Amino acid sequence: MTPNNGIIGREYEQKILANICEEQEARLIAIYGRRRVGKTYLVKCFFNEKYDFFFTGSYQTPMKDQLVLFQRALKEYTSKECPLPKNWFDAFSLLWDYLKGLRKKRLVVFLDELPWMDTPKSNFHSAFSYFWNTWASTRNGLKLIVCGSATTWMLDKIIGDKGGLYGRTNRSIYLAPFNLGEVELFLLQHKGINWNRRQIAEAYMIFGGIPYYLDMLERDLPLSRNVDNLFFREKAALREEYDFLFQSLFKNAVTYRKVIELLSSKKKGMTLQEILTALNAEKGGSLTDVLKNLCRCDFVRKYSSYGKKERGVIYQLTDLFSLYYLTFIGNRTGQDEHFWTNVKESTKNAWAGYAFEQLCLHHVRQIRAKLSIGGVLTNVCSWSCPPMTDADGTDWNGAQIDLLLCRGDETIHLCEMKYSSKEFAIDGSYEETLRTRLETFAHHTKTNDSLRTTMITTYGVKPNKYSSVMDDQVRLDDLFVRMDE
């Protein structure tokens, strides 16, 4: 089987599926990723919706009702009456009776939203494990594909299970949000939208690389009108999406939201201890698990501060959709339905400056490629220091660098990320700031590595008498490069 060229992007994931389909042995494939990222779409398009059995879990639906739906799905494939299963063990037994009667070299079974089938006291996980270990894994040619938006459940119960499914998943596929290059391709080929790259970047900073949200954009409307329609008009389609997003992903959604909302107010991130203090929580496994799960689902990134180990770990909100929602919507009511069209430029620029930094952090691979260091071992971190006075009385201002690329060849890129509607002009004051920051970093870290000031901007740095302070530059266009896997 060859990859389906009708799918936008996802070349690497299609190659994995194609290779697995050529194998003779039974295979269990787990596909996971956050809600709305396109897991179901990938599988449906790749297999042209031709399965030997397909069933999807139903959100917050009792087991007895899900079993009725399972019976109906099985009836559609067998074209005959099936008894109503009393539990999931019965359900999978009926499925196996049907599958073993099929005389085909390859069988494709697709179980979507698997976590939603695992309702309280349903014994779903045990039944599924028994089905795979006892029956399905013995049938050559069977490809059992399972998907789930509840990433933590998929990782704990399927991919990283310590019980009956330990080591049983033959391949796991993590489906990430689109990058800028894929968003551009999606908008042009799928939606017929031919925006310039700054407009596409703004859309990315609002919706992230989530295909479901991008698919809601209307071709004949400007981006500002689209945003107004999707967020600010009465009964807007994405007005309640933030609430449902957490309810569908996490059991204790309230705690997860508290962490996200706290981090949204601390743009540069927080240490574990700072989060514990702010939430008046005790140090223990609960909050650590919450942060771990948020990192797994791409809502939060965990990164180190240069020169520090575990105690220097910082957690930062990186989900652009959540950031936009919490900045401009949250619990606000009565907003103008044309809010985004009429928002003050200063308000928009304040948000865009930080959102652009996060956009850059989502495209470190492209930044490294532009700097010709894609094949060089590189650690990504940040650095900050408070104002201080040396023993000799020398005063040093505090400094913060949000992106350091620390190369294995004894070179460090001190990255500055600036969002602008035109070429970014470095003036005398900013030049002094950059030079002082570099000197401060060199002094406090005592590094012997070569230091390079690297500017990442929308349209590049305007050449002038101060621009020589810059050693390297990366433009927005460079972030649109689609990387080969």
List the chain pLDDT tens, one digit each, 485 residues. 444 557 898 999 999 999 999 999 999 999 998 889 999 999 999 999 999 999 999 988 999 999 999 999 999 999 888 899 999 999 999 999 999 999 899 999 999 999 999 999 999 999 999 999 999 999 999 999 999 988 888 988 999 888 888 788 899 999 999 999 999 999 999 999 999 999 999 999 999 999 999 999 999 999 999 999 999 998 899 998 998 888 777 777 888 899 999 999 988 889 888 999 999 887 666 888 889 889 988 899 998 888 776 566 889 999 999 999 999 998 777 678 999 999 999 999 999 999 999 999 999 999 999 999 999 999 999 998 888 888 888 888 888 898 999 999 999 999 999 999 999 999 999 999 999 999 999 999 999 999 999 999 999 999 999 999 999 999 999 999 987 65
In a domain, 206, yes or no: no
What is the CB-side half-sphere exposure of residue 54 using CA atoms within 13 A? 8
In a domain, 140, yes or no: yes
Amino acid identity of 388? M
Are residues 295 and 382 located together in one domain of the fold? no
In a domain, 263, yes or no: yes
**Number of neighbouring beta carbons within 10 Å of residue 468:** 10
Are residues 267 and 124 located together in one domain of the fold? no
In a domain, 224, yes or no: no
Give the end of a domain, one of 174, 203, 233: 174
Are residues 31 and 106 located together in one domain of the fold? yes
Are residues 20 and 138 located together in one domain of the fold? yes
Query: How many structural domains compose the chain?
Result: 3
CATH code (residue 305): 1.10.10.10
CATH code (residue 140): 3.40.50.300
Are residues 259 and 147 located together in one domain of the fold? no
In a domain, 251, yes or no: yes
DSSP strand pairing (411-418 vs 450-457): parallel
Are residues 404 and 323 located together in one domain of the fold? no
In a domain, 484, yes or no: no
Are residues 324 and 368 located together in one domain of the fold? no
Are residues 316 and 390 located together in one domain of the fold? no
Are residues 270 and 130 located together in one domain of the fold? no
Give the end of a domain, one of 174, 206, 222: 174
Are residues 322 and 383 located together in one domain of the fold? no
The position carrying tokens 């505090």 is: 398
C-alpha span between 191 and 199 (Å, rounded):
15
Residues paired with 382 in a beta bridge: 305
Are residues 289 and 370 located together in one domain of the fold? no
Are residues 461 and 397 located together in one domain of the fold? yes
Q: What pTM value is reported for the model?
A: 0.91
In a domain, 337, yes or no: no
What is the CB-side half-sphere exposure of residue 10 using CA atoms within 13 A? 28
Look up the domain containing 252 and give its range: 241-328
In a domain, 432, yes or no: yes
Give the end of a domain, one of 174, 190, 223: 174
Angstrom CA distances, 175 to 179, 209, 292, 446, stand at 12, 11, 18, 40
